[in-house]
């Protein structure tokens, strides 16, 4: 292809790019500066040179690198000195926006050449990504790329095996830039996609066509969806074409001589391909579940064989590998693997390579097992996603729920204990460390999570009968792993099936309690987990009716010989105490506390004490104290000295968590026993907290600030107004935390810094990758919640900090990064005004600033849920000030005007939803997903109704016959009010 830039520019750019990929930081940094300098002065020339280099570079590595770099540069903010014919003052312009039309046309021509001529698949994939970015950005700016549309269609129609890479690239373009085909006739698009889905030569083409089909359906409007229904059959038929070689039954037509055949590499590879194809389809289950409705019977014949474990139980070669690898037709027969043409090899291999070949075979079997497991999880995720998206649809398909439940239950008992270090490794592991988190990522844990999701989606009537068809026999199994799975299954389904489960709770308790005496520690651990989860999901019900049976097994388990078990029993007690009445707990208080104290301060060799057990014992003591309230006072003399001793001495890094838990426990006990009992130790605890707060900061201790703030708040609640002298100690740091700005970093698209970091969350906003330090935001929210506690507890005595608190709180009503911050501020504002009024320090300026900010926020708020909080805050503030019914005119007019604006916005939203649903129904699209949107729309309207109610209360406080009250009722009537929480429990 002819050069589009001078040779000297190409030579210079070649050197710069070569330096960019070098390992020397200084050379690479200089090369980056050179790139930025060239782009600042002559962006068009160097972007064209870079695009040309992506075609002409000698190595595939440099061509790939050029394409990736081109993507990053084209749509990053332009340097300030860049200018071009299309320059305009709109902010955040990219280099692309400064390019002339001629340059863009040349760029497009060069990239189309790369798309059609690049011989290396990896480089071609980068070309597809770059082309699609350019197409999407161009179309967003009103510049369609007709040449790409035409070329992609031509490439998708090319015939023959040699052109398969081109066909895959074409469908890759359609998948990543679906808007290229959205304005074309549906029949044409469907014909092209169906042909790609049935490609006889390449699995990559079928995969790309499937991705393109899913992208098309997700981007389609209601009318296009109705027309695209016939596409679902060929999309789903891509699955059995792969599964046929796995010897799996399927409902779709058998591959004929002219139909696509699986690739000839190996059966093992088809496990991977089938997993990938299912993963491509899964998002469509969530976005358009009704598309699958006509195909449920066929899917139910095909999917069970994928998600259920293999029926065989022997590792013999013929059973474990019924389809061994064979040489592809026409391939070379040389090499050791080519001799293995069947399950057994004759004559048997001999010589020095025999052992190596056996090792290869074992490795291959292990890899195949991993691929089988991945396929099972992919198929299960497909079924779970469809069940979550449209429970009512899959409930009507007999056998659907039953097969998913059975698959989850069977797989939960299949974990490989040796892979986790065996029983000894599990017992020695510290559950509070990161190493134990691997258990939550193991396949059995993933199946457990799937069962939980299914139960939450389908409800008890659908899930409990098939689950308890198996669970009782699982709990009686000779295999401890199956008993363990049965208990974890009960815990997993408790949340979603609670309304029905409570009717059979007595039988379930009778099944679970004997398992606390099981011979295997992991089963006893699972029994603790099961009871703890039941206490959370069936809170108060199980504690009230079955406390005697549960305490009879939980309390003795606190003395279990295994630390991991008795620690988990203590954790289960926390869940139990959260829903127990004080009078119910009191008879058991003494034996519980005695055993927890032994765990906290055991006899014997201190070297054998598990710190995580002590941490858990302290946490449980805190919860028991909170639940038993003043009755806990009898145990106070035994516990508080231990906690104070921990706070004095636990300074080493290894004891950070123990110290934090001791702080939390001391605060909760102080609240429980009251001021009279806690009073003598109050000054000691405060002095220790001050010492900890003034100690040199440890950057690696990220939790200390959180626990300090929380403990100071508890001490304030325990001491009441006697806490006032300590406000100068706690308020400066608290106000500083509350006023902290959001810590946000902007990353380039492929920048390494954008990788997930602890305490940070990565989000995409306006095409940019943002890193937000969520840990700081959580601390900000906690600071405002603590201000609520201080202000409500101290009342008028909080007045010295009224002005500073208002200055921090009012702007935070617009802190959009965290809803909790805004909600806490809405609660705090009336309290601050009340404190000011009670102390005669409230000024007209404070009142004016507060009401003005509230009115402004009401006028611009888009979140209906927080809008309700704002109206309540305004109402409470006016009532505290004493202006209810006599609001000054400027504020009266302001809030009425803001309310009119909100009423209009709410009315428009409701009309828009109704029109959308009506248009979809008229287009015949109800069968393809719009019907399911009604539940979501009705939920939104239910939230809006709360805002309308608080709006009405505010208007009525201004004038009981305010004319806008009629408008509020009218907007309420616009909603279709069809929200139904799917109470399948009756």
pLDDT digits (tens, 9 = 90+) for 886-900: 889 999 999 999 999
In the structure encoding, which two tokens stand for residue 243, read together? 């599964």
Residue 331 pLDDT grade (very low, low, confident, very high; cuts 50, 70, 90): very low
Residue 269 pLDDT grade (very low, low, confident, very high; cuts 50, 70, 90): low
In the structure encoding, which two tokens stand for residue 845, read together? 């300026």
| pTM, to two decimals | 0.80
- Higher-pLDDT residue of 345 and 222 is 222
Q: Would you list the DSSP string of 607-665?
A: GG--HHHHHHHHHHHHHHHHHHGGGGGGGHHHHHHHHHHHHHH--SGGGHHHHHHHHHH
Residue 608 pLDDT grade (very low, low, confident, very high; cuts 50, 70, 90): low
pLDDT exceeds 70 at position 148: yes
Structural contact between residues 345 and 351, judged by C-beta atoms closer than 8 angstroms: no
Q: What is the pLDDT of residue 791?
A: 96
Structural contact between residues 650 and 659, judged by C-beta atoms closer than 8 angstroms: yes
Over residues 638-649, the mean pLDDT reads: 92
Q: What is the pLDDT of residue 976?
A: 59
pLDDT exceeds 60 at position 355: no
Q: What is the pLDDT of residue 241?
A: 80
- Higher-pLDDT residue of 463 and 162 is 463
Structural contact between residues 683 and 728, judged by C-beta atoms closer than 8 angstroms: no
Instruction: Give residue 202's region: left, alpha or beta (phi > 0; psi -120 to 50).
Output: beta
DSSP assignment letter at 765: E
Whole-angstrom Cα distance, residue 927 to residue 551? 52
Write out the H or E segment, with its range, that includes residue 602: none
What b-and-e string marks burial along 546-572, b requiring 16 or more CB atoms within 10 Å of the CB?
A: bbebbbebbbebbebebbbbbbbbbbb
Over residues 895-922, the mean pLDDT reads: 84
pLDDT exceeds 60 at position 419: yes
Q: What is the pLDDT of residue 481?
A: 94
Residue 677 pLDDT grade (very low, low, confident, very high; cuts 50, 70, 90): very high
pLDDT exceeds 90 at position 319: no
- Measured over the CA atoms of residue 745, residue 749, residue 753 and residue 759, the dihedral's sign is positive
In the structure encoding, which two tokens stand for residue 55, read together? 């075609």
Over residues 417-443, the mean pLDDT reads: 74
pLDDT exceeds 90 at position 169: yes
Structural contact between residues 616 and 571, judged by C-beta atoms closer than 8 angstroms: yes
Structural contact between residues 943 and 864, judged by C-beta atoms closer than 8 angstroms: yes
Write out the H or E segment, with its range, that includes residue 771: strand 768-773
Q: Which of 789, 895, 868, 865 is nearest to 832 (CA)?
A: 789
CA dist list (Å): 7 to 37, 346, 761, 951: 19, 63, 45, 70
Range 33-38 contact pairs with CB under 8 angstroms and sequence separation of 24 or more: 35/73, 36/79
Over residues 583-606, the mean pLDDT reads: 86
Average pLDDT across the chain, whole number: 84
Whole-angstrom Cα distance, residue 452 to residue 380? 13
- Higher-pLDDT residue of 356 and 234 is 234
CA torsion angle 869 875 880 885 (round to 10): 180
In the structure encoding, which two tokens stand for residue 937, read together? 């729309």
Structural contact between residues 653 and 703, judged by C-beta atoms closer than 8 angstroms: no
957 Cβ partners below 8 Å, 6+ apart? Answer: 875, 878, 879, 884, 885
Q: Which phi and psi angles does 771 have, rounded to 5°?
A: -105, 120
- Higher-pLDDT residue of 361 and 776 is 776
pLDDT exceeds 70 at position 552: yes
pLDDT exceeds 60 at position 752: no
Q: Which phi and psi angles does 744 have, rounded to 5°?
A: -120, 130
Q: What is the pLDDT of residue 763?
A: 63
What b-and-e string marks burial along 3-34, b requiring 16 or more CB atoms within 10 Å of the CB?
A: ebbeeebbeebbebbebbeeeeeeeeeebeeb
Q: Which of 599, 681, 686 is nearest to 640 (CA)?
A: 681
Over residues 105-125, the mean pLDDT reads: 91
Over residues 841-869, the mean pLDDT reads: 94
Q: What is the pLDDT of residue 310?
A: 65
In the structure encoding, which two tokens stand for residue 227, read together? 């027309």
Q: What is the pLDDT of residue 315?
A: 43
In the structure encoding, which two tokens stand for residue 247, read together? 């010897």
The winner for highest mean pLDDT among 331-345, 569-583, 929-943 is 569-583
3-state secondary structure of 417: coil
Residue 3 pLDDT grade (very low, low, confident, very high; cuts 50, 70, 90): confident
């Amino acid at each position: 292809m002819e050069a589009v830039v001078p040779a000297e520019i190409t030579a210079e750019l070649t050197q710069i790019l070569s330096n960019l990929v070098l390992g020397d930081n200084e050379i690479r940094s200089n090369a980056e500066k050179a790139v930025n300098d060239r782009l600042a002065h002559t962006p068009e020339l160097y972007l064209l040179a870079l695009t040309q280099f992506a075609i002409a570079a000698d190595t595939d590595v440099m061509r790939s690198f050029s394409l990736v770099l081109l993507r990053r540069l084209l749509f990053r903010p332009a340097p300030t000195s860049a200018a071009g014919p299309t320059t305009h003052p709109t902010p955040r312009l990219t280099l692309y926006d400064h390019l002339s039309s001629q340059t863009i046309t040349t760029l497009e021509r060069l990239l189309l050449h790369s798309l059609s001529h690049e011989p290396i698949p990896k480089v071609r994939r980068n070309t597809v990504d770059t082309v699609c970015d350019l197409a999407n950005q161009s179309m967003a700016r009103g510049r369609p790329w007709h040449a790409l549309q035409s070329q992609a269609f031509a490439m998708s129609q090319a015939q023959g095996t040699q052109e398969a890479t081109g066909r895959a690239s074409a469908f890759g373009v359609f998948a990543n830039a679906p808007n290229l085909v959205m304005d074309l006739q549906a029949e044409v698009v469907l014909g092209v996609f169906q042909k790609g889905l049935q490609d006889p030569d390449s699995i990559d083409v079928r995969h790309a066509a499937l991705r393109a089909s899913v992208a098309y359906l997700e981007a389609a409007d209601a009318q296009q969806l109705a027309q695209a229904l016939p596409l679902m059959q060929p999309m789903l038929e891509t699955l059995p074409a792969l599964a046929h070689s796995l010897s799996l039954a399927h409902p779709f037509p058998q591959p004929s001589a002219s139909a696509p055949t699986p690739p000839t590499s190996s059966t093992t590879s088809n496990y991977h391909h089938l997993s990938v194809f299912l993963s491509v389809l899964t998002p469509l289950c969530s976005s358009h579940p009704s598309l699958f409705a006509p195909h449920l019977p066929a899917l139910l014949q095909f999917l069970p064989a994928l998600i259920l474990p293999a029926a065989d139980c022997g590792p013999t070669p013929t059973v474990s590998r019924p389809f061994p690898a064979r040489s592809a037709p026409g391939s070379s027969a040389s090499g050791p693997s080519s001799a293995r043409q069947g399950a057994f090899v004759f004559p048997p291999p001999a010589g020095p390579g025999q052992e190596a070949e056996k090792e290869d075979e074992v490795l291959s079997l292990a890899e195949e097992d991993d691929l089988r497991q991945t396929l099972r999880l992919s198929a299960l995720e497909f079924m779970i996603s469809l069940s979550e998206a449209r429970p009512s649809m899959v409930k009507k398909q007999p056998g659907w729920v039953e097969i998913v439940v059975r698959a989850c239950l069977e797989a939960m008992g299949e974990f490989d204990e040796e892979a986790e270090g065996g029983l000894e490794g599990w017992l020695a592991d510290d559950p509070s460390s990161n190493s134990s988190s691997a258990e939550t990522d193991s396949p059995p844990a993933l199946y457990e999570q799937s069962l939980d999701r299914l139960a939450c989606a389908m409800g008890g009537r659908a899930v409990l009968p098939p689950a308890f068809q198996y669970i009782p026999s699982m709990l009686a199994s000779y295999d401890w792993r199956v008993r363990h799975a049965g208990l974890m299954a009960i815990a997993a389904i408790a949340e979603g099936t609670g309304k029905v489960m409570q009717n059979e709770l007595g039988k379930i308790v009778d099944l679970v309690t004997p398992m606390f005496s099981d011979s295997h520690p992991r089963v006893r651990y699972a029994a603790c987990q099961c009871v703890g989860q039941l206490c959370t999901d069936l809170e108060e019900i199980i504690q009230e009716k079955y406390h005697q049976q549960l305490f009879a097994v939980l309390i003795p388990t606190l003395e279990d010989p295994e630390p991991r078990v008795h620690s988990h029993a203590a954790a289960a007690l926390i869940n139990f105490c959260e829903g127990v009445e004080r009078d119910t707990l009191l008879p058991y208080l003494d034996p519980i506390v005695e055993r927890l104290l032994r765990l906290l301060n055991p006899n014997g060799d201190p070297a054998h004490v598990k710190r995580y057990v002590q941490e858990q014992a302290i946490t449980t003591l805190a919860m028991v104290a909170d639940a038993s309230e003043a009755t806990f006072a009898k145990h106070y003399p035994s516990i508080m000295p231990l906690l104070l001793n921990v706070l004095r001495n636990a300074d080493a890094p290894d004891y950070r968590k123990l110290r934090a838990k001791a702080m939390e426990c001391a605060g909760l006990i102080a609240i429980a026993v009251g001021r009279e009992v806690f009073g003598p130790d109050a000054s000691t605890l405060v002095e220790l907290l001050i010492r900890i707060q003034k100690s040199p900061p440890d950057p690696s201790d990220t939790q200390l600030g959180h626990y300090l703030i929380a403990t100071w708040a508890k001490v304030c609640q325990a001491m009441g107004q006697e806490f006032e002298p300590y406000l100068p100690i706690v308020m400066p740091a608290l106000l500083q935390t509350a006023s902290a700005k959001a810590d946000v970093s902007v990353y380039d698209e492929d920048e390494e810094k954008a990788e997930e970091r602890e305490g940070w969350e990565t989000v995409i906003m306006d095409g940019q990758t943002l890193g937000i330090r969520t840990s700081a935001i959580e601390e900000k929210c906690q600071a405002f919640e603590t201000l609520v506690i201080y202000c409500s507890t101290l009342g008028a005595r909080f007045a010295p900090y009224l002005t500073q608190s208002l200055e921090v709180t009012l702007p935070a009503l617009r802190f959009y990064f965290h809803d909790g911050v805004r909600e806490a501020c809405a609660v705090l504002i009336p309290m601050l005004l009340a404190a000011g009024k009670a102390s005669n320090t409230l000024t007209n300026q404070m009142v004016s600033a507060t009401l003005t900010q509230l009115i402004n926020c009401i006028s611009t708020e888009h979140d209906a849920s927080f809008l309700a909080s704002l109206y309540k805050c305004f109402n409470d503030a006016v009532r505290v000030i004493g202006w209810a019914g006599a609001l000054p005119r400027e504020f009266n007019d302001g809030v009425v005007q803001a309310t009119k604006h909100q009423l209009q916005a709410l009315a428009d939203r409701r009309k828009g939803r109704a029109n959308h649903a009506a248009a979809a129904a008229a287009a015949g699209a109800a069968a393809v997903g719009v019907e399911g949107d009604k539940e979501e729309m009705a939920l939104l309207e239910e939230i809006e109704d709360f805002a309308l109610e608080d709006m009405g209360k505010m208007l009525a406080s201004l004038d009981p016959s305010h004319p806008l009250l009629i408008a509020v009722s009218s907007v309420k009537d616009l909603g279709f009010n069809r929200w139904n929480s799917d109470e399948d429990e009756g």
